[in-house]
Amino acid sequence: MIEATKPNTKSSTSSPPSQGTGESRFDPVTGNWTLFAPYRSERPDEFVESRERIRKEIACPFCPGNETRTPPAVWIGYPENHEQVARECQQTAELSRQKSAAQSDWAVRVVPNKFPAVTNIQERDSTTYTHPQRFSGNYSTCASESTLFQRRPIAGGHEVIIESRNHVQSITELDVAEAAHVFKAYRDRLLHWRDVPGIAYISTFKNVGSKAGASLRHTHSQLIATDRIPPMVATAAERMSNYLLTKGSCLHCDLVRAELKAKERIIWRDNSLVAFCPFSSHLPFLVRITTLAHQPCYEDLSESTIESISRLVRRVVSWIEKLFPNTAYNFCLHTRPPGCNDPSDAYHWGIEIFPRMTQVAGFEFSSHCMINPVLPEDAATQLRSLALAEDPRLIL
């Protein structure tokens, strides 16, 4: 069974980590761990808190010609007319490429995050990871004086997927081939990180707009791999495992079948994929995409399925943007955690897309219970009308 991170009496109570390191701290009341990465405040930020203020002009480190402003790439996707569509970079080849960065012909680049949330990269010229990157700094391994103040270093990696050479903001501004490259990069990096010894959880996500947490406009997404499974993820995985044990079937598969039968929250479907607004959506206009067939891991999907997913995500975001122009949004890719020991039949991959339309306020913070002002049935009706306008032959 999968287990959430448990308190450890051997956790350190030493002084806080130095700049460039980070740690997690345990809350004995909630059982949650909070990740502290104060050095991320040094990130370049193209957004400002007030729309009335003039935004800061920052030379984009993700644009062609600025490749040397990022750490060397660990994965490169090439244009369709290139003889090599994608490859994981080898050190000598990538270093050579960096010397002529301005003339590079990449379509998608994956680089270590220069301002990592969970790691402090020590070797700037390293282009592959053979083990989890660990924080520098001294952490005591002796018993803590108090179990109330526990802190622990984090092991893992933090990568940025630079999705296009063009200085655009949303995935809808990519063409179909570019979007497919992005989702293949997700697959390849997930495959890489799940084979790294000690990695237990991988989060792949995209922030668009300042309200969604983005600090740069150039379209990009991120991957964070850690050596621990977050407690809420562990709890959800345990619920799915218990459901399998009691019902004999995958919880997500049963939910999808029930949604297809009800129809009122379905936005789009074909013979392999479905997009719908979940019955218990905790955010307005939240859309979930997954396969009709059971599959625990996104990274194990076929090439053609991944291409179909990229097209569908692009379309769903376009429908959200038509309803709410210039809205900030996030999407998160959920796949079976490498550290999950439960039967694979219990887990089912999925992507959740949601515009940032509301703000978390006092009640949500105090109760950890979300208030959603939009029924998923109403959200699905509006999104489905746009899907039908694009394809009147759509059959739900």
Q: Are both 23-48+56-231 and 238-390 of the same fold?
A: yes
CB atoms closer than 10 angstroms to residue 237: 24
Q: Where are the beta strands (DSSP E) in 113-176?
A: 133-134, 151-152, 155-162
How high is the pLDDT of residue 119?
A: 55
CATH architecture of 23-48+56-231: 2-Layer Sandwich (3.30)
pLDDT at 32 (0 to 100):
73
Residue 177: its pLDDT value, please? 92
Q: How far apart are the first and last CA of the chain?
A: 37
**CATH code given to domain 238-390:** 3.30.428.10
* Burial class, 44, CB count within 10 angstroms (exposed 0-12 / middle 13-18 / buried 19+): middle
Distance CA 258, CA 241 (A): 19
Domain boundaries defined on the chain: 23-48+56-231, 238-390
pLDDT of residue 47: 46
Reported residue count of the chain is 396
pLDDT of residue 228: 87
Cα gap 331→343, rounded to integer Å? 26
pTM: 0.82
Q: How far apart are CA 297 and CA 332, in angstroms?
A: 14
- In order along its 396 residues, the chain shows pLDDT tens digits of 433 333 343 444 444 444 445 677 777 777 777 777 666 555 555 444 443 333 444 689 999 999 999 999 999 998 875 555 455 665 445 545 544 443 468 999 999 988 888 753 333 233 343 344 443 344 444 445 567 888 777 778 999 999 999 999 899 999 999 999 999 999 999 999 999 988 999 999 999 988 877 778 899 999 999 988 998 999 999 999 999 999 999 999 999 999 999 999 999 999 999 999 999 999 999 999 999 999 999 999 999 999 999 999 999 999 999 999 989 999 999 999 999 988 888 999 999 999 998 888 888 888 888 888 999 999 999 999 999 999 888 877
Q: How far is it, in rounded angstroms, from Cα 125 to Cα 1? A: 39
Determine the pLDDT at residue 40. 56
Contact 288, 313 (CB under 8 A): no
Q: Give the residue carrying structure tokens 């301002």.
A: 115
Nearest-angstrom CA–CA distance, 354 and 278: 12
**Amino acid letter, 129:** Y
Q: What is the DSSP string of 320-355?
A: HHHHSTT--EEEEEE---TT--S-GGG---EEEEEE
CA-to-CA distance for 243 and 250, rounded, in angstroms? 7
Q: Is the Cβ–Cβ distance between 156 and 226 less than 8 Å?
A: yes
Q: Three-state SS for 85?
A: coil
- Residue 300, C-beta contacts closer than 8 angstroms, at least 6 positions apart: none
